[in-house]
Structure formats: structure tokens, C-alpha cells
Structure 1
Amino acid sequence: MKFVVNKFSSFVQNVIDHVTGAEAPNVYSQPQGQIDKVLHQLPQLKQKYRPTPWLSNQHVHLLYFDLIRKRTIKLQYDKIEQLTMQDGGITAIAWLGYDLPATTPTIVLMHTITGTPESMRELVKDLHAYTGWRVALCLRRGHAQLPMPVPKMNLFGSVEDLKEQINFIQQQFPQSELYGVGSSAGTGLLVRYLGEQGEDTPLKAAFALCPGYNTETGFENVHPFYSKIMTKKLFNKFIQPYANTWGESPALSKVLQAKTLLEFEQAYFEMAGYPDYQSYSQATNPIYVFENVKIPLMILNAEDDPVCHIRNFEPYKEVIRSMPNIAVVTTKKGSHCGFYQGVKYTHSWANKLVADFLLTQEKEK
């Protein structure tokens, strides 16, 4: 009887898996590369990622993540410190686990395109809970209603600002090992920084969650609905509240005509401090320095992501397979930055993978 019940349960689970798109992840890496040892220590990569059944549609999944989940997670940061950059611009760091022992590792977290301490609560809370480490969320200019005394912003962030933020973190916790995590647009800043720095970085390993790879082409593949919605968010977050800061900026009229993320990105370069789009892209696009990343880096994409489309990854598969320190993980489902699993209690499969990867790297060092 037990055998029959087990067979029936297995049959039912297989049917559910087929309907919801539950499959084991695909992993792209150099065989026998230095990161290979770590991959074998992550059981999630050998098992099926089973999305929450009622979130198996990528649009429902994303709307749940963006409109419900972000607003229901409760988290009180220890403190948020504003930092003045060398040119007078303002950034900030939101801390969780600030009072942990001085030798506790610190996760340097780079947020999404319109990220705030509130919108990043789930990832911050999960990383802290799973690892027991300190988390330093690096807020970019204009985010979280920070003052903008200098008319300068960047959708993907500034490497120079990040370097100043990392220096500040090191000054506060000189005995703490640092690890990097980027989410969505934050992956552009993370990888650009890692590529520019090569081996000259205090970060021991890093994780890029839902990157778009080449920033010159990535916005072309964003689903039209989300492109329009996110463009309106950019106006509401970075243009309208800082009207006095932008003043008579030559780029402002062109930016205000933008209807899509691609149009916005191609028009706002002067607001980022560059004379033309080519200069802006050469200085910020992570793909130009990607092959110079030297520390262990894991990347995660969902094949049904409507924002950072999986086709963005396609041109770089062979390059990644040639790099011993890089691994790309793809899942059939997961949408954009969600990756929820569970029925009664939904939780992020991806956040656990990020934490486990970093913990494994800490053990390996």
C-alpha cells in the first residue's frame, strides 16, 4: 500500500512540475575551473527549482514581487548614514547587523534601478538571516529621496561612488571580509566595478542577481509594458523631485520625451556627467570589462524574466565557459528577482542560493 501511495504521490508531483515548469537549474561554467569545486557544494543546483504554483506565470510572479511582497516584509535597519562624495554629491549606506562582532563578514549590496531601503528589505533580511553577516546596502545618488546638491545621477551607479562607499565600510570594519551582491541594475555597477578593479578589490566573491549584461542592448529586450511603467518611475523618482537641481540641463527636454527605458537611457547621459552617449557607455557598460573580473562570481537569470530577458545572456555563453571563476545559473521559471517557492509560506529560492554561495566561498578562502 505504501508503495502505491508513493508512486501516486510521485506521479502527482511530476504533473505539477510539468504544469508549473519546475526543472533543475542549468549551469554554465568552465569544466574543472576554480569555481567548479564550489558548485558541487550547492545542493540547490542539483535539485528542481519548484516555483510557487500560483506564481508560475512570470507576470503574476513579478507583480506579486513588486506590488505585494515588497510591501509586506517588515525590517528595521540599524541606521542609515549619508555620505558626502568627493564632488559634493550625496550617497548613503543602510546597515543591518551593524553591531555584530568586528570580524563578522559584510555583504556590500547594490540595489535595483529605483531601489530604496524599503524595496530591498526582503533581500537584506534574507541575506542577514541566512548568513548571520552584516549587510551594507549602498544607496546611489537620488535614491530614497537623498539630497542631490550636485546635478548628477546614473541609472546603474558610479564606480567612483561605490569605491568611496567601500572605503567607508572598510574604515568602519577593518577586520571584516567583504562580499558583493548586485540585484538587477545593481549588477551593472557590481560587474563594472569588478572588471575595472580586477584583483585590486577587497571583495572576496560576488553574486549578480538578474543582470541585463550589455547595457547598450539590454533595454531593447524589456517587455514593453514594464519598460513604460519603469520609465514613469524614473520620472517620479529622479526627475520631478529634483527639478531645481536639473534646472536648465540641456538633456532634460530630451529625457522628458522618453517613453521607454531605452529612450531614457540614450537621452540622459549628460545627467550622468558625460558629453555623449558613447562616452557614457564606454565608461559604465559592464560588458566592456567583464572578462577582467578576477574574483569568484555567480550569476543567476530566469529564462522567463520579462525585464532582464534571457536572450541578453546568449552572446556571452562561450566567454563565460572560458572563464574559470564565473558560473551562470539559469532556471526555467522565477521571473525578475522573485524566484518564489512554497505554497503556504512563499520564500525566495534565489536569496538562499546567494547566501549559500557566499557562505561556501567564505569556507573555501
Structure 2
Amino acid sequence: MFTYCCENCDQSEGLDLGDVTLALCPGICNSSENTYIRSCVWLACHSGFRCAALNHIGTLNNVQVTSSRLFTYGGTAEYAAMVSKLMALHPDTKLILIGFSMGGNIVTKYIAECPFTANRFTLGISICQGYDAVQGATLLLQWNGLRRLYLYKITENMKKLLRSHYDKVVLPHVASGLVDEKKLWSSTNLLSLDDTYTRKVNGFNTVEEYYEFCSCRKLLSEISVPMVFINSVDDPLVPNSLWEIARKYAEEKPDMLLITPKHGGHLGFMEGSFFRPNSITWLDRLIIELCNAALKLYH
């Protein structure tokens, strides 16, 4: 279910960090094998941290799913299972929870939904998430910043995963009459795919109801753990209007921070030349700096 890296190397900046675990949650259709996860894990391990990265259901080609569905955009059960396993394996570890894009939404929801384990969490970091799936779905249909093109690509990636695990996650629902297979494969955007497949398989009456369930927006006030939100101003998928809700809470809550770099795109934050970017990104370094700062401040 998750990929585990425990080769703790030299402590960064000469700090005695103790036992610290970073629990990573990737973005939509992504897993521990994606480049941005691998580069973050590499730097974290070489900075003295243990890492675990969730593999969303259906995202690993060499692992067959055992459920009748893929991951959801806001379900926290799989991430919660990973964190629980980490706490059982390492009862004294300090946990830092980090989510990327869709994973940022899941991490935020999980922290808000689990106040009874909040004392185990040092920090939560959410990167490039959209907070409100209902509002975000409408914005993704627009052509501003080529969002509609990105949406088409994401939809095709979802369909690719569905085809990869067809016998488990599609065929039973087609056979039962729940899903119209022709409509499913003809979907050109996530709203259509989610209305035809995702919301039905997960037991929701409408796609709006499903998106409302997935959104962390309504739970931000419940967060009791220090939290950092990172949203770049030039993110083509997450326009500024979506992260204004995070700004509101960051202004009101002393342990909540919103960082809005001018550039970075959606999980980009590359450094170096255009043709030969550095393998370690600005975001990777920022994550380590935030982790070190939180450990100094709260421990």
C-alpha cells in the first residue's frame, strides 16, 4: 500500500532531530514512483528523516487492486491506514504529514478528522491543493491557463488506470448496470467521468455531493495541528480564488501559514536552466527547511 524508506543518513544542519517520519501523500493518479515524490524522499532521507509514501489504489502497474474501486479525491482511509501503521512500527516517532495537490487535500482532511491523534503530529504541509472540489470543478472547465487541456490529460490518466484494472474496478459495475460503459470511455473531462462512474461506485447521489465530501474547505477550522499551505500564484490548475479560503484561516490562526510564491506552477518549482533543471527543486529544499523549523519550534 505504501513505499517505505528508512535509510536515515546524516542529520541536516547538525541538528539532533531524533526519530522523525515524513508521511507523503501524492497527487491524482500518482504514486511513490513519480519524480517529485522520489526527489523529495531522496533529499529527506539524506537530511535525516524516515519517509513513507502512499501509493493510491490502482496507481502501481505491477500491483493488482483487490477492491472494486480506485482512490477517491478526498477519502482519507488509505492514508489513515498508512499513518496508523507508521505509528505502530515507530511508537516514539515524530510525524510530519505532507500532501501534494490532491494529496494535500487528503492530508488536510485527515488532520481535521483525527483530533485524537493530533498530539502525534508535529506539522502538516499541503502543496498546490484546491481546497474546494465543487468550485474547482467549474474552474477546471475554463480555458484560462489552459486548465481545460490539463483537465483532459488528467481524465485520460484516470481512464488509463480504469483500463489497467478493468476486471476489478469496471466490469462488475457494468455487469450490475450501475455504470454505463460507453459513457465512461467517452468522457472527456473529470466531471463527466465522475458523474458516470466515480460518484456511483462510491455511493453518492450526485457528483456535487461527491465533490462536497472530497473537499477539505469545510474542515479547515477543525485543524489543531501547525499547518503550512503552499500555493503558487501561477498555478494553472489552482487559480488564486481557490486558496483565498486558506489565506483567511492563516490570518486568523497563529499556527497556520500560507506561502504563495510568485512562480512554481503546479508542483513545478524547478531550479537551474530550462533545458537542464536541477534534480532537487526549490520545493524539496523548502519542505526540509519547514520540517527542521517545526522540529526546533515544537520540540
TM normalised by structure 2 equals 0.83
Determine which of 126, 129, 132 is the counterpart of 1:208. 126
Please tell me whether residue 112 in structure 1 is matched to residue 27 in structure 2: yes
Q: Distance in 2 between matches of 1:185 and 1:321?
A: 23
Determine which of 296, 308, 315 is the counterpart of 2:238. 308
Shift of 1:106: 0.4
What is the SS of the residue equivalent to 1:341? coil
Structure 1 segments (4+ residues) deviating >6 Å: 99-102
Q: Distance in 2 between matches of 1:321 and 1:255?
A: 43
Shift of 1:248: 4.2
Code of the aligned partner of 1:171:
A
Please tell me whether residue 225 in structure 1 is matched to residue 149 in structure 2: yes
Code of the aligned partner of 1:339:
F
Please tell me whether residue 176 in structure 1 is matched to residue 93 in structure 2: yes
Code of the aligned partner of 1:107:
L
What is the SS of the residue equivalent to 1:107? strand
Bigger relative contact order, structure 1 or 2 (CA pairs below 8 A, ≥6 apart): 1
Please tell me whether residue 286 in structure 1 is matched to residue 204 in structure 2: no
Q: Distance in 2 between matches of 1:126 and 1:205?
A: 18
Please tell me whether residue 351 in structure 1 is matched to residue 262 in structure 2: no
Partner in structure 2 of residue 156 of structure 1: 73
What is the SS of the residue equivalent to 2:117? coil
Question: Aligned pair in 2 of structure 1 residues 228, 281: CA closer, same or farther (>3 Å)?
Answer: closer
Residues 217 and 245 of structure 2 are in contact (CA less than 8 Å); yes or no, is this contact kept in structure 1?
A: no
Residues 269 and 280 of structure 1 are in contact (CA less than 8 Å); yes or no, is this contact kept in structure 2?
A: yes
CA deviation profile, 1:12-65 (whole Å, cap 9, x unmatched): xxxxxxxxxxxxxxxxxxxxxxxxxxxxxxxxxxxxxxxxxxxxxxxxxxxxxx
Shift of 1:278: 4.8
Please tell me whether residue 191 in structure 1 is matched to residue 124 in structure 2: no
Residues 187 and 210 of structure 1 are in contact (CA less than 8 Å); yes or no, is this contact kept in structure 2?
A: yes
Shift of 1:141: 1.2
Determine which of 184, 191, 196 is the counterpart of 1:262. 191
Question: Aligned pair in 2 of structure 1 residues 128, 194: CA closer, same or farther (>3 Å)?
Answer: same
CA deviation profile, 1:266-294 (whole Å, cap 9, x unmatched): 44112334444354334332112121111
What is the SS of the residue equivalent to 2:24? strand
Determine which of 53, 59, 67 is the counterpart of 1:143. 59
Determine which of 141, 163, 188 is the counterpart of 1:240. 163
What is the SS of the residue equivalent to 1:211? coil
Please tell me whether residue 320 in structure 1 is matched to residue 250 in structure 2: yes
Shift of 1:242: 1.6
CA deviation profile, 1:141-170 (whole Å, cap 9, x unmatched): 112133222212233253122222111111
CA deviation profile, 1:82-125 (whole Å, cap 9, x unmatched): xxxxxxxxxx1111225779952000000010112221212222
Q: Distance in 2 between matches of 1:124 and 1:252?
A: 40
Q: Distance in 1 between matches of 2:210 and 2:253?
A: 27
Code of the aligned partner of 1:255:
L
Residues 93 and 139 of structure 1 are in contact (CA less than 8 Å); yes or no, is this contact kept in structure 2?
A: yes
Task: Return 180-189 or 259-268, whichever deviates more.
Answer: 259-268
What is the SS of the residue equivalent to 2:260? strand
Task: Return 304-313 or 94-103, whichever deviates more.
Answer: 94-103
Q: Distance in 1 between matches of 2:133 and 2:270?
A: 26
Determine which of 251, 263, 275 is the counterpart of 2:179. 251
Q: Distance in 2 between matches of 1:336 and 1:185?
A: 11
- Matches of residues 16-165 of structure 1 in structure 2 within 5 Å? 92-98=1-7, 104-119=19-34, 120-129=37-46, 131-145=47-61, 146-156=63-73, 158-165=75-82
Q: Distance in 2 between matches of 1:242 and 1:260?
A: 20
Q: Which structure's CA Rg is the greater one?
A: 1
What is the SS of the residue equivalent to 1:169? helix
Q: Distance in 2 between matches of 1:299 and 1:99?
A: 26
The percentage of aligned residue pairs carrying the same residue is: 17
What is the SS of the residue equivalent to 2:133? coil
Code of the aligned partner of 2:65:
M
Residues 206 and 358 of structure 1 are in contact (CA less than 8 Å); yes or no, is this contact kept in structure 2?
A: no
Q: Distance in 2 between matches of 1:248 and 1:185?
A: 27
Structure 1: stretches of 5+ with no match in the other structure: 1-91
What is the SS of the residue equivalent to 2:85? helix
Q: Distance in 1 between matches of 2:124 and 2:272?
A: 27
Code of the aligned partner of 2:21:
T
Q: Number of paired residues?
A: 272
Q: Distance in 2 between matches of 1:137 and 1:151?
A: 22
Residues 305 and 336 of structure 1 are in contact (CA less than 8 Å); yes or no, is this contact kept in structure 2?
A: yes
CA RMSD of aligned residues (A): 2.4
Residues 100 and 134 of structure 1 are in contact (CA less than 8 Å); yes or no, is this contact kept in structure 2?
A: no
TM normalised by structure 1 equals 0.68
